[in-house]
Amino acid sequence: ADQTYELLTVETVPGYVAGRPALRALLDPAAITGVREVGDGNLNLVFVVEAPGRGLVLKQSLPYVRVDPTWPITPERNHHEARALRAHGAVAPGYVPEIYDADPDRYVVAIEDLSDHRVWRGALNEGLRHEGVAADLGRYVARVAFGTSVFGLGAKAHKAAVAASVNPHLCEITEDLVFTEPYITHEHNRVLPGNEADVAAYAGDPAVRAAVGAAKLAFMTHAEALIHGDLHTGSVLVRGEGPGTPRSTRAFDVEFAFYGPVGFDIGALWGNYLLAAARAVVLGDDDHAAWVLGLAAETWHSFREEFTGLWPGRDDPRVFGDAVRDAFLAKVYADAAAAGAAKAARRVIGFSRVTDIETLPEEPRVRAVRGVLHAARLLLLEGAATGDPAALFDRAGQVLTD
């Protein structure tokens, strides 16, 4: 891919900070005590800049996929990240990292250093319980769902925001990797011999394919709110409550943000709860699996409660009565079930795997993948009708072990 801007290195970061007025005002470049590159995702360079008092993090978009440099990907996603961080920070303060600076020429955002947090996926993999995080995330999604929607913004501002947030390249990645490739023969797919029949049964089922197609159409056309767009458990930083330290939950990596269906964000969480539970099941940790599956209802109920609490402040109550709210919530729920299924299934069939599953030895991994596909099928085909998330994920827990 063409490389037309200078990439940061550990050595050049202090000079970069010195050249950015907004960053110089935050910390003295001469006082920087260390720079570490910590990016471990698929796409970006991430530097932690350490300094006495307050450090910061620089995230620079590469013009190609980090884990496959032959695959070009627009660095413009950095602008979407900056826009979404600001928009989400305004309506959901405390749920995303603070943004200090955005450099449109070198595709860098500077954000708050959250080194005292850890990535939630890793904690879940270790069987740790961060109580309250799932509910925090429901509130985050609700505040964004309301605040960036027609209900929160009104008609004109919503249309302007939709236009400014069109993110076609990153949406195309999701359309391909989540909603298409796992259901066709594709070079990105990787299936263990022990799972070939499971994948064929799941992806070849006409009812599954119809439901995934409908979910893809919703993803492509339902411009409800400026959703996160990639809200898996690896996009969440958590800090547990301790003496003198309050709990903190932050959604990060918002480069996939665009105007889409709110249920896609709830579904991303639900799908990743399934993956975490599947891991716990095959490792014999039934208590952790049950706790993780219970998070789906926690996220949903806090989402619904927060959204309902914001509802009296909506734009245009003349026609947006409570029946509209209830229909909207029912749609979010149905979209979440379908998106959750698609998000879980893509992680065990297609490109971009997750440590929940990939770090398992082969025999339990085969069982975990089988369970995930059974649960995904359940969510796709019966999720919308099972309007109670506790009941739905209770049944998902049963089919995880089939």
Binding residues for ligand SR1, rule: CB under 6 A, are 41-43, 65, 173-174, 177, 230, 352
Minimum CB distance to ligand SR1 smaller for 135 or for 238: 238
Instruction: Tokens for 173, please give them.
Output: 């990645």
Minimum separation from the CB atom of position 339 to ligand SR1 (A): 12
Q: Is there a contact between 63 and 78 (Cβ–Cβ < 8 Å)?
A: no
Minimum CB distance to ligand SR1 smaller for 20 or for 79: 79
Minimum CB distance to ligand SR1 smaller for 350 or for 397: 350
Query: Can you tell me which residue has the tokens 């898996």?
Result: 232
Residue 168: CB atoms within 10 A of its CB come to 11
Minimum separation from the CB atom of position 64 to ligand SR1 (A): 10
Minimum CB distance to ligand SR1 smaller for 41 or for 132: 41
Q: Is 41 in the site for Mg ion (CB under 5 A)?
A: yes
- The residue number with the shortest CB distance to Mg ion is 253
* Residue 401 binding result from ligand SR1, Mg ion, none, given CB thresholds of 5 to 8 Å by partner type: none
Minimum separation from the CB atom of position 117 to ligand SR1 (A): 18
* Residue 45 binding result from Mg ion, ligand SR1, none, given CB thresholds of 5 to 8 Å by partner type: none
Expressed in angstroms, the distance from the first to the final Cα of the chain is: 45
Alpha helices, H only, 253-361: 262-282, 286-310, 322-349, 355-358
Minimum CB distance to ligand SR1 smaller for 88 or for 367: 88
Q: Residue 38 carries which side chain, given as an amino acid letter?
A: V
* Residue 352 binding result from Mg ion, ligand SR1, none, given CB thresholds of 5 to 8 Å by partner type: ligand SR1
Q: Is there a contact between 364 and 283 (Cβ–Cβ < 8 Å)?
A: yes
Could you give the CA distance from residue 280 to residue 388 in angstroms, rounded to a whole number?
A: 23
Q: Name which of 257, 281, 268, 262 is nearest 121 in CA terms.
A: 268
Minimum separation from the CB atom of position 136 to ligand SR1 (A): 21
Minimum separation from the CB atom of position 306 to ligand SR1 (A): 25
Could you give the CA distance from residue 61 to residue 299 in angstroms, rounded to a whole number?
A: 30
Residue 30 burial (C-beta neighbours within 10 Å; 0-12, 13-18, 19+): exposed
Q: Residue 173 carries which side chain, given as an amino acid letter?
A: I
Sign of CA dihedral 153, 159, 160, 162: positive
* Residue 63 binding result from ligand SR1, Mg ion, none, given CB thresholds of 5 to 8 Å by partner type: none
Minimum separation from the CB atom of position 41 to Mg ion (A): 5
Minimum CB distance to ligand SR1 smaller for 49 or for 178: 178
Could you give the CA distance from residue 17 to residue 181 in angstroms, rounded to a whole number?
A: 41
* Residue 283 binding result from ligand SR1, Mg ion, none, given CB thresholds of 5 to 8 Å by partner type: none
Minimum CB distance to Mg ion smaller for 195 or for 235: 235
Q: Return phi, psi of residue 309, to 5°.
A: -65, -30
Report helix angle 77-91 to 168-177, nearest 10: 90
Could you give the CA distance from residue 122 to residue 119 in angstroms, rounded to a whole number?
A: 6
Minimum separation from the CB atom of position 111 to ligand SR1 (A): 17
Minimum CB distance to ligand SR1 smaller for 138 or for 350: 350
* Residue 336 binding result from ligand SR1, Mg ion, none, given CB thresholds of 5 to 8 Å by partner type: none
Q: What is the DSSP letter of 10?
A: T
Residues 6+ apart with CB under 8 A from 44: 59, 60, 61, 62, 66, 255
Minimum separation from the CB atom of position 230 to Mg ion (A): 5
| Angle (nearest 5°) at CA 227 between 126 and 170 | 85
Give the binding range for Mg ion (CB under 5 A) out of 37-45, 178-186, 207-215, 314-322: 37-45
Minimum separation from the CB atom of position 174 to ligand SR1 (A): 6
Contacts of Mg ion in 149-168 (CB under 5 A) = none
- Selected binder of Mg ion within 253, 265, 306, 335 (CB under 5 A): 253
Minimum CB distance to ligand SR1 smaller for 27 or for 215: 215
Residues that bind Mg ion in the complex, under the rule CB under 5 A: 41, 253
